[in-house]
Chains A and B, each alone.
Chain A
Amino acid sequence: MSLVEPILRTDGTGVAGTTREAETSRVVPLDAESRDWLESLRGVGPAYDDAVARLHALLLRGARFEVSRRRPSHLHLRGDDLDDIATEAADDALVSLLERLDTFRGASRFTTWAYKFALLEAAVKVRKRAWQGREIPLEPESWELFSSTGRDPEAQLQQREPPAILRRGIENVLTPHQRRVLVALAVNGVPIDVLAERLGTTRGALYKTLHDARGKLRAHVAESGFDIGEWLEAET
């Protein structure tokens, strides 16, 4: 996982390397518990083995927490499946964390830093398991979400209604790849990790595509003389 990525602006420019960013990535003094974790995990022999075992137990606790949170929305997954996912997630998180141990800067407690590895691995595995064997919809399954009046799109467009303007933008201003990614992620609700795996790319790269597509769509709406913020506010 790349740890250096520019901040994304809607106009496509970046602001990486700012003073504020430098400040947030500096090394800070470690609390005593975090220092103990680091020293143990950089040690050798029984002390190292014990630290790794304790770390794995912590990661397993985190993975089980995440799997448990996802359980209500994935009722088709059996208890054994979820236990397996949590164990695999803890194993993979341990490997990932140890590879990145030198990147820990003490910006948070070590345990908080460690937990995020377990939560990420567990969340990704649950999403992928839930979509296992399912076809990924890359075309709009329904435009109803963007229909404000129930009238046909051409009538909406003539009345300059937002759903029609958005739909026209998706169809006309995006590249085919941007359109497929935007539709799959933002219209059809495909999880980004699942789509990344199917398309043979990374979550970060897909999000960049989504970000660029959204920027083009916003520009298209603005060029149509429409105030997005005002409309969203009115719909709330």
Chain B
Amino acid sequence: MQNVNKNDALRGLLGPSGPEVGCDECFQKIDQYVELELSGRDPDEVLPGLRAHLEGCPACREEHDSLYALVSSERTLGKN
């Protein structure tokens, strides 16, 4: 077992160390978070606790990654 995989497993078990929002609040604010990221601003300053949740919740992280990829690709193509 690679150390990095074991480390990921332990992080999954112990979760983020700081305060975090729940899944519902994450969904409520994830669009704003992604747009702040795409604009080059620091989303953690505006939406505290959301990054920690993304570290601790694989499902919300997958959905964040998809939204970021979709919106950034559409902006690159000039659709939005």
Contacts and interface: CB of A to CB of B under 8 A. Distances in A.
Interface of A: 1-10, 15, 20, 23-24, 62, 65-66, 69, 103, 107-109, 111-113, 115-116, 119-120, 123, 127, 144-148, 162, 166, 182, 186-187, 191-193, 203-204, 207-208, 210-211, 214-215, 217-218, 221, 228-229, 231-232, 235-236
A175 B70 CA distance: 40
A24 B32 contact: yes
Nearest to A2: B24
Given A145-B1, A204-B23, A108 B32 contact: yes
A211 B24 contact: no
A192 B57 CA distance: 9
A116 B68 CA distance: 10
A152 B28 CA distance: 45
Chain B interface residue number, banded: 35 or more
Contact of A120 (B19, B58, B63): B63
Contacts of A4: 24-25
Contacts of B59: 123, 127, 191-193, 203
29 contacts: A1-B27, A4-B24, A5-B22, A6-B22, A7-B25, A7-B48, A8-B19, A24-B32, A24-B46, A62-B70, A65-B70, A69-B66, A103-B28, A119-B63, A119-B66, A120-B63, A127-B59, A146-B13, A186-B13, A192-B58, A192-B59, A193-B59, A207-B22, A207-B57, A211-B56, A214-B14, A215-B15, A232-B10, A232-B11
Main secondary structure of the interface of B (DSSP, over half): helix
A148 B2 CA distance: 10
A235 B32 contact: no
Contacts of A207: 22-23, 57
A22 to B, nearest CB: 12
Contacts of B58: 191-192
Contacts of B15: 10, 186, 210-211, 214-215, 218
Contacts of A146: 6, 9-10, 13
Given A24-B32, A145-B1, A123 B63 contact: yes
